[in-house]
A and B are shown apart, each in its own frame.
Chain A
């Protein structure tokens, strides 16, 4: 087991939760008159999302900080991170067992390709992506991404920590 795996997984979980919370917090702040906080969050998430008004969820009468697809990606990423955290913790499983193998890699590539096709074709007149296709493609991608990325991140941080101690 790589050193400090559980701490790194916990940090990843906290970071994903905070990022996800920001998506929900933006409409909450705006609907309750906290304009400064809302503007900051919308500007922050605007760096990574088009925030198109007709392609976003609405909470408390205000638009979420990111679009439907991005919301699905970040939500499923959070759920995937949660799953990894509890699976490794309660089964006392080494991170090596959860390490991304060829199957995870191919699932990620397939999910990514599906999402790209959904995005790409919606720019043509042949196909218009729906809310369901955005949610589905986003969730598949976010889930496989968490499964792929979190063990890699844990390994990388552990390695840096080990090197610094030498």
Chain B
């Protein structure tokens, strides 16, 4: 009985590259203090990471011309990207804190306040938009870094990021055009 290659899941291209890059996107957006604001827009950063993973894997599959990209692939890519993203974002947050520590938290906050004041005076930003966000950064940086805080961040990220990355990956799969899977024996 002839078995076509694309019915054998084990012969599909590896998802590792797509997952790692998707996770890096999530981690970079979520971990860097200025960029993490993007996640306040309905976790756009995390969703984008899941979508990136799907785009990369879809390209990989299309290059091979023998496989169909399925919703199950998108689901797995999203969840795994989210998990990787959680670790990466925690790691980057720790690095950022360790890097900023010697420079001085106050200096960073002064620079951020000046930038925001300039944007508000030029009319690019309505006054008061970033006040709470600035306050959160100040509180977060002033509290200090402990193992407990790092673990708490990691656990919370591991709960949230895979869910929203999965949503992003399924959205990209659904919106980006689906192909009906042929069953051949």
Contacts and interface: CB of A to CB of B under 8 A. Distances in A.
14 contacts: A47-B43, A47-B156, A50-B37, A50-B40, A51-B132, A52-B132, A105-B174, A124-B124, A128-B126, A149-B167, A153-B71, A156-B70, A160-B72, A163-B72
Contacts of B4: none
Contact of A156 (B40, B71, B157): B71
Given A155-B72, A156-B71, 5 more contacts: A43-B156, A44-B156, A47-B39, A153-B71, A157-B75
B123 A125 contact: yes
Nearest to A122: B126
B132 A156 contact: no
Interface of A: 43-44, 47-53, 69-70, 73, 100, 105, 108-109, 115, 119, 122-125, 128, 145, 148-149, 152-153, 155-157, 159-160, 163
Contacts of B160: 44, 47-48
Contact of B159 (A44, A52, A149, A152): A44
Interface residues of B, number: 35
A94 to B, nearest CB: 16
A53 B128 CA distance: 12
Given A123-B126, A149-B171, A156 B72 contact: yes
B175 A109 contact: yes
A106 to B, nearest CB: 10
Contacts of B67: none
Contacts of A148: 171, 174
Nearest to A15: B163
A107 to B, nearest CB: 12
Contacts of A122: 126
Given A44-B159, A160-B75, A152 B43 contact: no
A67 to B, nearest CB: 9
Contacts of A160: 72, 75-76
Interface of B: 9, 30, 37, 39-43, 46, 70-72, 74-76, 123-126, 129, 132-133, 152, 156-157, 159-161, 164, 167, 170-171, 173-175
Contact of B39 (A48, A108, A145): A48
A156 B39 contact: no
Instruction: Name the residue among B30, B71, B157, B171 with the largest chain A CB count within 10 angstroms.
Output: B71
A53 B74 CA distance: 36
Contacts of A155: 71-72
A17 B184 CA distance: 40
Contacts of B76: 160
A152 B72 contact: no
A152 B157 contact: no
A105 B40 contact: no
A36 B76 CA distance: 33
A124 B173 contact: no
B21 to A, nearest CB: 21
Contacts of A159: 70-72
Nearest to B76: A160
A165 B180 CA distance: 21
A22 to B, nearest CB: 11
Contacts of B124: 124
A43 B42 contact: no
